[in-house]
Amino acid sequence: MTSEARRAIALARRLVVKVGSSALTTTGDGLDITRLHALVDAIADRLGRQTQIVLVSSGAIGAGLAPLSLDARPRDLATQQAAASVGQLTLAHAYAESFGRYSRTVGQVLLTSDDVVRRAHYRNAERTFSRLLSLGAVPVVNENDTVATEEIRFGDNDRLAALVAHLIGADGLVLLSDVDALYDGDPRAGGTRKIAEIRSESDLDGLAVGMSSSGLGTGGMMSKVAAARTAAAAGIPVLIAAAAEAERALRDADVGTAFQQAGARLSARRFWLGYAAGSRGRLHLDDGAVAAVVRNRRSLLAAGVTGVDGDFQAGDVVDLVDAAQEVVARGVVAFDVTELPDLIGRSTHELPPDQRREVVHADDLVPLRGR
């Protein structure tokens, strides 16, 4: 079972490995040290092959359940944050001791969405990872669940792993959970087919993506596929596999589902713009503008804009959407939202001289469809 994506992951000099809550914790007992040791064993083996690894680990909330005498993952935010506060220490200590068996030093990195959405924070995080890796440490990353809000509700560690993979210049991303691969339906229902390779977006057409079999995680397979698509679109090959097969996944990458990277790797700025930055509004485009922006990589002019939503200022990031409300690109807008209603649909020569500029310049625009 070889492919370009699998070979790239097997030979990668820098990897991001993400492991889900369901692969590390059990209901009632909390953190499963045996499973954690097995994961660390596999990572240590790959580290021994001169590969740098950043580990994105869920499991803080699950690890905090048993110490707080909680029988199940709490539903209310305050209790989730309390569990994360206790569990994060437990998880970090467990990783430090487990990697210590191989004389490996662990560095904990807690991130919130701001750390990848705000450009200045993004650069700071990039420098931190670079220095940790140069010093031979293994960065262990988690969302800062103790103070996070949306992140806890939506279980975004898969997306976080994709963002970190590009941020550190990783050669591959491995997503580990309690599901061994992507299937063409819910594998629990039977009669489904395992999908070994995703070579393009069209390979995902018509697939019914199921959820994790555990009640401890919140991401599920849908989250993993979204993260894999983000990383692959930015030039990073991805492997989705079972945590129980971590050794094979990290050694030969001959298990699970591999996502082929699409084209050249995006620059750090364009990746941040397309996938990490927060959007402050939407520009609605006609069919001609969609073709110009997506297919021809042209700037967006006022003549192609049909409507505006949001509350943004010149210099903010906005989504560009087509007639079906699909986001086809993102970019840095050159006008305030209050200026655009008088400009949309008008040719450049019809505009006042001080407003004869692109609404979104091609240099500040990233197509999200057709890559």
Of 50, 3, 9, nearest to 231 by C-alpha is: 9
Q: Does the annotation list 113 as a binding residue?
A: no
Question: Is pLDDT of 154 > 60?
Answer: no
Residue 224 marked as a ligand binder? yes
What is the mean pLDDT of the segment spanning 211-237?
74
pLDDT band at 125 (very low <50, low <70, confident <90, very high): confident
Q: Nearest-CA neighbor of 151 among 185, 110, 181?
A: 110
222 is in an annotated binding site: yes
CB 2 within 8 A of CB 197: no
Q: What pLDDT score was predicted for residue 338?
A: 95
Domain match, 56 and 192 both:
yes
221 is in an annotated binding site: yes
pLDDT score of 214 more than 60 = no
> Do 139 and 167 sit in the same domain of this protein?
yes
Domain boundary (270, 302, 327) is at 270
The answer to whether 1 is annotated as binding is no
Burial 222-257 (b: 16+ CB within 10 A, else e): ebbbbbbbbbbbbbbbbbbbbbbbbbebbeebbbbb
Q: What is the count of structural domains for the chain?
A: 2
Distance CA 156, CA 114 (A): 13
124 is in an annotated binding site: no
Identify the domain boundary among 242, 270, 298: 270
Residues 254, 157 share a domain: yes
| Domain of 204, in residue numbers | 4-270
Q: What is the mean pLDDT of residues 186-209?
A: 78
Confidence (pLDDT) at 241 = 96
Whether the predicted pLDDT of 50 surpasses 90? yes
0.85 cut: is pTM over it? no
Instruction: Determine the average pLDDT of the residues in 244-262.
Output: 95
Same domain for 57 and 121, yes or no, is: yes
Span 353-370, average pLDDT: 88
Q: Is 218 annotated as a binding residue?
A: yes
Is 194 annotated among the ligand-binding residues?
no
Known binder of ligand: residue 296? no
Show which of 270, 291, 325 is a domain's final residue: 270
Dihedrals phi, psi of 149, to nearest 5 degrees: -120, -75
CATH number of the domain that 71 lies in? 3.40.1160.10
pLDDT tens column, 294-351: 999 999 999 999 999 999 999 999 999 999 999 999 999 999 999 999 999 999 899 9
